[in-house]
Amino acid sequence: MPDPENERNAMEAFKVPKMLSYLAFHDSNAEVKGLKAYPKEDRPPVTLTFLSFRLMVGLGFLFIFLSFLSVVLSRKGNMESKPFFLNIMLFSLILPYIAVQIGWIVAEVGRQPWIVYSLLKTADAVSKSINTTQVLISFVGFTLLYGFLALIDVYLLTKYAKKGPEEIISEMKSSSVAQEV
């Protein structure tokens, strides 16, 4: 857990030596500069970025685990007899969307206060050709549009997930037979 006031980690777990160097530079001996190497005014909000990244990665591992479990249960042929697992999968439909939004938070908050690192700060990139009302109207419009699309998406995913594959396949077959006649 980061402790930004004291510029240290309050707690560290699962340390993997040289892993960050390898991930960043494909060289386990490369130097990765820490936040202390940069002036305080050039640092992003550490805690929000840290927690968002951990949550995003945790959701990614959850998706891998649920996918693996789905394959195992379907190969055994008893997935239909596991209603608890099916309910978990049903309620997990929204999690990839949450993971994407959290990833966006990591990207956008993690680059602050810069738009282009060392060239353009966010405060200097504010457009002077539009006013606050125009930004607010755009924000509300996009929020409503994407909120509406998200509701439709969740509704359709839930509807077809509740029906199950057999009912959907039989509907598809009956509609294709009706089209042929």
- pLDDT per position as a tens digit, 79-117: 878 889 988 988 898 899 899 999 999 999 999 998 888
Q: Write down the pLDDT at residue 165.
A: 74
Q: Write down the pLDDT at residue 181.
A: 52
Q: What is the mean pLDDT of the chain?
A: 88
Beta-carbon contacts of residue 135 (< 8 Å; ≥ 6 apart): none
For the whole prediction, is pTM greater than 0.75?
no
110 versus 177: the higher-pLDDT residue is: 110
Pull the structure tokens for residue 21.
Answer: 């160097």
pLDDT at 179 over 70: no
13-60: pLDDT as tens digits: 888 899 989 999 999 999 998 888 888 888 899 999 999 999 999 999
